[in-house]
Structure 1
Amino acid sequence: MERARQANSAGRKAAPVSDHHTLPVHEVVLLLETDITKGLGPGQVSRRRSQFGANMLPRSKRGGMWRKLLRQFNNPLVYVLLAAAAVTGVLGEYLDSGVILAVVLVNTLIGFVQETRAEAALDALHSLVRTAAVVLRDGQRQEIPSEDLVPGDLVLLEAGDKVPADLRLVRLSGLRVDESALTGESEAVSKDEVVLPVGTPVADRRNMVYSGTLVTAGTGEGIVVAIGGETELGEIHRLMGAVQTVATPLTRKLARFSSTLTVAILALAALAFAAGVVRGQQPAETFTAAVALAVGAIPEGLPAAVTVTLAIGVRRMARRRAVVRRLPVVETLGSTTVICSDKTGTFTENQMTVRALWTPSASYDVSGSGYGPAGRISAAGKGAPEGAAVEPESTQDAALYWSLLAGGACNDAKIVLDGQLWQAQGDPTEAAMLVVAGKGGIDVAEFLAANPRRGTLPFTSERQYMATLHSPALPGQGGTVLVKGAVERVLELCGTQLDPSGRPAPIRRQEVLEAVHGLTRTGLRVLATAMMHLPKDAGPLAEEVLEGRLTLTGLQAMLDPPRNAAAASVRACHDAGVGVKMITGDHVGTALSIADAVGLRTSGEGSRALTGSLLDAIPEHQLPDAVEQTNVFARVSPEQKLRLIGALQSRGHVVAMTGDGVNDAPALRQADVGVSMGRSGTEAAKEAADIVLTDDDFATIEAAVEEGRNVFDNLTKFIVWTLPTNMGEGLVILVAILIGGTLPILPTQILWINMTTAVALGLMLAFEPKEPGIMSRPPRKPDRPLLTWVLTVRIILVSVLLVAGTWWIFELELAGGASLAEARTAAVNLFVAVELFYLFSCRSLTRPAWRVGVFANPWIVLGVVLQMAGQLAITYSPLMNGLFHTAPINPETWLRILGIALLASLVVAVDKRFRRTGF
């Protein structure tokens, strides 16, 4: 309250929204200098608009387009490529220099587009607060654009309205608001005007409504206490703007790898130049040789391979209903160690569904989920037989008919078919009761046509029930009252219960309460239904008419059901060594119920749940331990979600976060991989996410993790395949400088080898299918280097074989009378032949090449054919001979080349046989 008074004295600025729920209505009126009967006057509105500005979220300050474009060059790998382009340009190979620069440009443009799309996350939030608002100004009802609202405005709300600003409620009737997008609460929240204590979480502030939420039932009036950036939605906007997008494991590892490679190449070139000068060689020739060494050692094809491999992963994931918005996150999913998932709409359908019915004489199960009509009602414990349905009063249990009718007709919701998706208009709880009435064969529309509604007692937090009076269309007949509401309150109004034949009988309250306990114990939300007949001379519907005169018809138990594949997907993630945690704004009981259903809770520490208030009480240094040991977090705010993800990342975890609400957007950006729901997700969540699931199914995340692991495998295979060539080329040049000999291969020939083999052979590894058991192994440790020691040794082994084989065949050809051009041509073809044979070995880093299957990846066969055609052209085409200083070679030389390539392949196979671990 003190903060509010200080704000009032300091220029009458609107009090922080965190204070207004603690103030009585009359203090809010005084603080904001408004009138709850007339609203603001024109002069007040004009002054406040000048003072506070428009009711819009602030635009973030961003760098210009050119600054954003230049940022894409700030990468060690780009430095290596630019150096390669400069070197090839110095050597006069302008075509090759242009190719390398084109690779840099493509990768730069991709990064530019990615960053531009990420910034759209903030813009998406602006659309959530652009709506029309009905206000009372100077005693006149007006409809204005929501951006024209000012603090102190009196806003009128009714069902279907989107709340245009943060409001302190002053009057209401049966007001219920869907706040799931903001808080994660799966059920619409009943509102009242009661003053609340300091520290009440946003999700529990019943006397407030917030910008961007949706009114599902009732009416209300509220004073605008916060607009634009001062709203709860504005706080989320601020959090999103403050969150820095986390670099993916792949980009981090490639950055380290590129930096190390850059230093190694420059050091090796400098060493070669120094050694040549010391040996008395000409500095100009030595420098040219050192430049050739650098050109050979630079893996020009690596950026293209990374982009193509990621793009193929994107295409495969799209076929599995996951749309990728940032290329590197494809691989990041394969590195994921923890998935933090929202509950509502991710683990669950985000569609309330009646799952069980109880009447005084029987219990029933309900099949089907969501708002679609598919489903049956059957006796509890029995499957629904084909054709089973509840008939009107001819059924053996009349109470069931009247319970379904009360739930369906005493109801303001609607179910509509939007494309192929059934959606609710109105309160989700009422929608669920409307759907189950249809499953029971009740034609609500037909009943209402014959028995129009003549009176209504709307649901309020004080009344705790809703009642409607229906009388036949023909005058002179009595009416029927239908009631649904909280069990305790409806029981107070009931004096009898309906027996199977449809006659009232004495109510057995204890039996009803035991049934309620049995249903709620499984996490179901239970409502009671009742009815009564009124004589034709009865007066209007009033509360006192119902006291003690209602007849209980039954109970309806519902929940937001877990998705069908959620439990199996959680098990698959656990089998793959990936932890799964639920982070939701919903109640603890609801969260634990869903956690049990999908297999998140264990018998150890993970069986407990932590609430947002408990998280705030945990010291920062103890938070990582607490988060590591807990699988369920409930009543969590957007700020707390960021703390949870940060705590996991501080432990070295690679975190994927799933969500669909506005409240999830900051966490989606903070996580290593943000995953949004495509159908039910808000635009803000989709724009903040790296991946959007088109089917809203948690199971799709498991499929995406599988594809991500395959992407990393294929990238590793390419790197293990390409580096021996680059290292071998560099070492061949180094040896030539150290011994003062002639270069076995020229810089232009090195570029031919690197560029053609990278495209025709190496890129084909991007199409490799998933290896068996890819989801049965644990995730890679985040701090694990791109290349393990075992793979590094294999790269060195193949490099040494290349250097030895190249010098042997080069000297052998010269000794046999071949020209220098012929000897160099033999050396070039030896490099390519060893690469070709080695390619088949790299298709699996652990299994022997013959077990992989030649035609499992037909692209490999195509690449081999293209490369062979290229080698024949550079060897025997006069044009190519002139461009690359090559010459035709005889068949005996080809046999020697193939023999060395086969020997190198056998050595690698032996190494693979005895070194199968450590990958």
Structure 2
Amino acid sequence: MSDCEVAVGSEEPAESPRQNGHHAMSSHEVVLLLETDPRRGLSTDEAARRLERYGPNLLPAAGGGGFLRRALRQFHNPLIYVLMAAAVITAFLHEYVDASVIFGVVLVNAVVGYVQESKAEAALDSLRSMVRTEARVVRAGQERMIASEELVPGDLIVLEAGDKVPADLRLVRLAELRVDESALTGESVPVTKDEAELPEVTAVSDRRNMVYSGTLVTAGSGAGIAVATGTETELGQIHRLVGAADNLATPLTSKLAWFSKVLTVAILVLAAMTFGVGVLRGQDATETFTAAIALAVGAIPEGLPAAVTVTLAIGVTRMARRRAVIRRLPAIETLGSTTVICSDKTGTLTENQMTVRVLWTPDGEFSVTGSGYRPDGEICGPSGAMADEATSESLRWTLLAGAGCNDARVREENGEWFITGDPTEGAMLVVAGKGGIDRDRLDNTLPRTATIPFSSERQYMATLHREPDSGREIVLAKGSVEQIVAMCRTEMSGDGTTRPLDAEAALRCAEALSSQGLRVLATAVRRDGESGDFNEDHLPGTLTLTGLQAMLDPPRSAAAPAVRACHDAGIGVKMITGDHVATATAIATHLAILGDDQQGRVLTGRDLQTLPAERFPETVDRATVFARVSPEQKLRLVETLQRRGHVVAVTGDGVNDAPALRQANIGIAMARSGTEVAKDAADMVLTDDDFATIEAAVEEGRGVFDNLIKFIVWTLPTNLGEGLVIFVAIVLGATLPLLPTQILWINMTTAVLLGLMLAFEPKESGIMRRPPRDPRRPLLTGALVARIALVAALLVAGAWLLFEWEQRRGAGVAEARTAALNLFVVVEMLYLFSCRSLVHSAWRIGFFTNRWVLGGVLLQAVAQLAITYLPAMNSIFDTAPIGGDVWLRIFAVGAAAAAVVALDKRLRRNLV
């Protein structure tokens, strides 16, 4: 007994289209399986029962947890724990203003995280809205309009041009039905539908007897049985994939999390050792505990979260000027670590506007310039000379047939050109305009009187026209090359005369053009005097072949240079598309994504299905073009590359791209052509839809990461030095060279006035000629850790040397501490210039290339004079005025420290 027979005898219809394979059944079997009527539909009572059983035709709302749960998640981060501990300790020391500032930083970070998490869930909400529409359904033999939420499996749904498909349907009847499925499958042109059953293994993009929820009817009409609603639709499957995709940590956040854990442990261990040593030495426990707290306060880099946020925000601003909008701050840094870009084809690498590239006539071949629907460009003959309708009669009639046998329209809106109708017909209208034929004038001089519409069975369209003055009737036809050639017995020469058809030449040319990834259509005419009625039976054998029109969705002009720049930067570029393999291969070859060696580098969705699991990762890593892939396969490709250690950026604009965009380390959507689902799932949106903008984003991302590392390398020696100064004092049983309030002053003022200026540092030369950062590489290399330790040691030694020197010269403790405090700041100022480049000297990069640094140093100098000489500041921070000779000793020690750091940088340049 067959599955179909079992289902008919069962109590309830089956639920999942993926389980039942409705495309592999005849329409009669589907009707029996779902216990419905192909003419009258379901009864009202049965529809109500099924609505109660299956639920509304909606995608479920995202379950992100309640407000409190989502808010508390924002505090679940080691760095936040350190900051909160710092705030508590600072409050314990009665520095309530500083404690409030630190708590404020924690709160702002939590709010930003909450908002960003809420935005991420918007992708699921957009998917839900795609299936909300009005549907024309037949119930109990009556056609009516109902809300799409009320549809159930077994409903008979009627479709007309302009309708959004409300559920997954198995077609039972149709008339010239064409559906735009680009948002779901990536197919660049509308799909012509038919009723014939298909093999079980047929991919979603090739199921001509099915239409899917969320797609758009562009032409014709039809009716189908709803085989899946809600979460059981193909759109529902994508909804599940988007919801299941991991919210991956960026390279920055993952490394900062590890860094925060290590820092937390180190601070606690050092503080505990300080307290233990003090107690063992017999020092007062309360004083020792206060010193241990002071050590912790000094070691915590309070300015790090603010520096990360400001640096990323500046990167976002720079990216906005380069036509990219960052929806999630860490995304800008992630781009700098990207090792592979998985790009969609249609609308990203290409214009998403079909364009005629080649015109062939029996007397010669013509090339066409220009791109997209903008009517700019020329038709050039074999010699390179410009051609138009007057150049050749066969060329003129080829253009006339393409423009007259055509239902599309081209329009301009705010300087942008769009088409209404089929993209291939739009391309034919545009090329006719380039040849001097205006559609409006053609409608007046050669009005249409009858039409034989295109169908998948006929594979051609024909129109009958009558000249108003002479009454002469003319037939124009266009369609597949094989069908049009079969209907012709003659071909037109350049002077307009006819001669016997050379079918082999036309078919040979069409095959050559198709091998280049071009979509080829043939045109033909029947002029007055050539007998025959205008109908399907009498038209074959009466036509004259005028020529061929070959078109494609052209690559963007800036895409090829951008791909080259990515390759130069060590970033792999892979094309993942739902389009045909020949088209994908042609575009990838043109853009140099594919090289001369194409063996094993082009895979189809079917290849991926049959690929053994043990060979899958290596094969995917090596391949560069993936054609006719499903959303599930695209998601699997991204996950596989990530498991192989890649940081993956994914571009896309359709619903089918949303799961991969969400899973990627960074998802990049298109603003103009992208669906709301894709934009909501992405981390970054390109306002110009141009792949070239990604290269600019990578450059900015690398600059942002560099600046963050520079800040960390600059700030950690101070924190480490402050902690070690306290530790040494406890070990030696000596007076503290710095007080907790003075340490807080150093940390808070220098982080804002000095460290944050590194966020404005311009990108270093050659940034796009170095390979991406290895994702496994730690945040700080061994050479940088050694430099941090060196500077910290210089700070500790210099502070103790100066503190002891001043006391031996008769200075009071307050004056000695003021000298040590100012030494810390002066060394930080000089070290700041060194940190502007981790490799090159300050002299090489130029002192005036970042004026923010100069401004920050000036403001910090004013602040240091204030804390040194203002009585009110002396009272608050226990400082005292110092003489000019003390300043000389401070700058002498600072200059010595700067010289040692410069020497270290020179010796370790190749290790950073």
Q: Note whether the superposition's TM-score is higher than 0.5.
A: yes
Amino acid at match of 1:16: P
Moved more, 2-11 or 845-854: 2-11
Aligned match of 1:488: 482
Q: Tell me if the contact between 2:518 and 2:550 (Cα under 8 Å) persists in the aligned partners.
A: yes
Deviations 1:62-115 (A, max 9, x none): 201111111010000000000100111111111111111111111111111110
Deviations 1:870-911 (A, max 9, x none): 001000011111111111000000011111111111111111
Q: Tell me if the contact between 1:396 and 1:501 (Cα under 8 Å) persists in the aligned partners.
A: no
Structure 1's 360 and 770: CA in aligned 2 closer, same or farther, altered over 3 A?
same
Aligned match of 2:420: 425
Q: Tell me if the contact between 2:381 and 2:387 (Cα under 8 Å) persists in the aligned partners.
A: no
Structure 2 residue matching 1:531: 3-state secondary structure: strand
Structure 1's 830 and 6: CA in aligned 2 closer, same or farther, altered over 3 A?
farther
Tell me by how many angstroms 1:854 deviates.
1.4
Aligned match of 1:584: 577
Q: Give, in whole Å, the separation in 2 of the partners of 1:69 and 1:154.
A: 46
Deviations 1:119-165 (A, max 9, x none): 10111112221222223333333333322322222222232222221
Moved more, 627-636 or 767-776: 627-636
Aligned match of 2:512: 518
Aligned match of 1:864: 857
Structure 1's 445 and 607: CA in aligned 2 closer, same or farther, altered over 3 A?
farther
Tell me by how many angstroms 1:604 deviates.
4.4
Q: Choose from 872, 879, 904 the match for 1:879.
A: 872
Deviations 1:818-877 (A, max 9, x none): 111111111100000000000000000010111111111111111011101100100001
Amino acid at match of 1:308: V
Moved more, 71-80 or 508-517: 508-517
Deviations 1:348-382 (A, max 9, x none): 11111111101111211111111111111111462
Q: Give, in whole Å, the separation in 2 of the partners of 1:638 and 1:751.
A: 53
Structure 1's 39 and 206: CA in aligned 2 closer, same or farther, altered over 3 A?
same
Aligned match of 1:466: 461
Q: Tell me if the contact between 1:389 and 1:441 (Cα under 8 Å) persists in the aligned partners.
A: no
Tell me by how many angstroms 1:238 deviates.
0.8
Q: Tell me if the contact between 2:532 and 2:538 (Cα under 8 Å) persists in the aligned partners.
A: no
Q: Choose from 591, 596, 602 the match for 1:609.
A: 602
Q: Choose from 620, 631, 645 the match for 2:613.
A: 620
Structure 1's 794 and 15: CA in aligned 2 closer, same or farther, altered over 3 A?
closer
Aligned match of 1:261: 263
Tell me by how many angstroms 1:709 deviates.
0.3
Aligned match of 1:299: 301
Structure 1's 110 and 811: CA in aligned 2 closer, same or farther, altered over 3 A?
same
Aligned match of 1:16: 17
Q: Give, in whole Å, the separation in 2 of the partners of 1:766 and 1:39.
A: 65
Structure 1's 441 and 702: CA in aligned 2 closer, same or farther, altered over 3 A?
same
Tell me by how many angstroms 1:605 deviates.
6.5
Q: Give, in whole Å, the separation in 1 of the partners of 2:180 and 2:782.
A: 55
Q: Give, in whole Å, the separation in 1 of the partners of 2:14 and 2:96.
A: 65
Aligned match of 1:722: 715
Aligned match of 2:88: 86
1:822-901 pair list within 5 angstroms: 822-901=815-894
Q: Give, in whole Å, the separation in 1 of the partners of 2:457 and 2:494.
A: 32
Q: Are residue 323 (structure 1) and residue 325 (structure 2) matched? A: yes
Q: Give, in whole Å, the separation in 2 of the partners of 1:420 and 1:134.
A: 37
Structure 1's 141 and 502: CA in aligned 2 closer, same or farther, altered over 3 A?
farther
Q: Tell me if the contact between 2:577 and 2:628 (Cα under 8 Å) persists in the aligned partners.
A: yes
Tell me by how many angstroms 1:680 deviates.
0.5
Tell me by how many angstroms 1:622 deviates.
2.4
Tell me by how many angstroms 1:46 deviates.
2.4
Q: Tell me if the contact between 1:48 and 1:151 (Cα under 8 Å) persists in the aligned partners.
A: yes
Q: Are residue 279 (structure 1) and residue 286 (structure 2) matched? A: no
Q: Choose from 451, 454, 457 the match for 2:449.
A: 454
Structure 2 residue matching 1:544: 3-state secondary structure: coil
Count of residues in Structure 1 that have an aligned counterpart in Structure 2: 910
Aligned match of 1:506: 500
Amino acid at match of 2:461: M
Q: Tell me if the contact between 2:605 and 2:627 (Cα under 8 Å) persists in the aligned partners.
A: yes
Aligned match of 2:408: 413
Amino acid at match of 1:469: L
Q: Tell me if the contact between 1:455 and 1:470 (Cα under 8 Å) persists in the aligned partners.
A: yes
Q: Tell me if the contact between 1:340 and 1:582 (Cα under 8 Å) persists in the aligned partners.
A: yes
Structure 1's 54 and 453: CA in aligned 2 closer, same or farther, altered over 3 A?
farther
Deviations 1:496-550 (A, max 9, x none): 11111222221111221222123222211110000112569975x3112211000
Q: Give, in whole Å, the separation in 2 of the partners of 1:340 and 1:767.
A: 30
Structure 2 residue matching 1:856: 3-state secondary structure: coil
Amino acid at match of 2:848: F
Q: Are residue 231 (structure 1) and residue 233 (structure 2) matched? A: yes
Tell me by how many angstroms 1:191 deviates.
1.1
Q: Give, in whole Å, the separation in 1 of the partners of 2:221 and 2:429.
A: 21
Q: Which runs of 5+ in 2 are unaligned?
A: none
Q: Give, in whole Å, the separation in 2 of the partners of 1:381 and 1:265.
A: 78
Deviations 1:318-349 (A, max 9, x none): 11111000101111100001111111111111
Moved more, 459-468 or 159-168: 159-168
Q: Tell me if the contact between 2:36 and 2:155 (Cα under 8 Å) persists in the aligned partners.
A: yes
Q: Give, in whole Å, the separation in 1 of the partners of 2:828 and 2:587.
A: 53
Q: Tell me if the contact between 2:411 and 2:419 (Cα under 8 Å) persists in the aligned partners.
A: yes
Deviations 1:179-221 (A, max 9, x none): 1111111122111111101111001101111111122222222
Moved more, 77-86 or 400-409: 400-409
Q: Under a length normalisation based on structure 2, what TM-score does the superposition of the two structures give?
A: 0.98
CA RMSD in angstroms comes to: 1.6
Q: Choose from 722, 746, 751 the match for 2:744.
A: 751
Q: Give, in whole Å, the separation in 1 of the partners of 2:182 and 2:11.
A: 35
Q: Choose from 801, 814, 818 the match for 2:794.
A: 801
Aligned match of 1:918: 911
| Percent of aligned pairs sharing the same letter | 63
Aligned match of 2:553: 560
Q: Tell me if the contact between 2:271 and 2:295 (Cα under 8 Å) persists in the aligned partners.
A: yes
Q: Give, in whole Å, the separation in 1 of the partners of 2:227 and 2:585.
A: 35
Q: Are residue 733 (structure 1) and residue 726 (structure 2) matched? A: yes
Structure 2 residue matching 1:705: 3-state secondary structure: helix
Structure 1's 354 and 307: CA in aligned 2 closer, same or farther, altered over 3 A?
same
Q: Give, in whole Å, the separation in 1 of the partners of 2:576 and 2:217.
A: 25
Q: Give, in whole Å, the separation in 1 of the partners of 2:251 and 2:601.
A: 31
Structure 1 residue matching 2:335: 3-state secondary structure: helix
Amino acid at match of 1:745: L
1:358-369 pair list within 5 angstroms: 358-369=360-371
Q: Are residue 390 (structure 1) and residue 416 (structure 2) matched? A: no
Moved more, 312-321 or 168-177: 168-177
Q: Tell me if the contact between 1:606 and 1:629 (Cα under 8 Å) persists in the aligned partners.
A: no
Q: Tell me if the contact between 2:524 and 2:547 (Cα under 8 Å) persists in the aligned partners.
A: yes
Q: Are residue 434 (structure 1) and residue 429 (structure 2) matched? A: yes
Q: Give, in whole Å, the separation in 2 of the partners of 1:214 and 1:812.
A: 83
Q: Which runs of 5+ in 1 are unaligned?
A: none
Structure 2 residue matching 1:620: 3-state secondary structure: coil
Q: Give, in whole Å, the separation in 1 of the partners of 2:212 and 2:474.
A: 38
Q: Give, in whole Å, the separation in 2 of the partners of 1:605 and 1:492.
A: 35
Structure 1's 534 and 29: CA in aligned 2 closer, same or farther, altered over 3 A?
farther
Amino acid at match of 2:869: Y
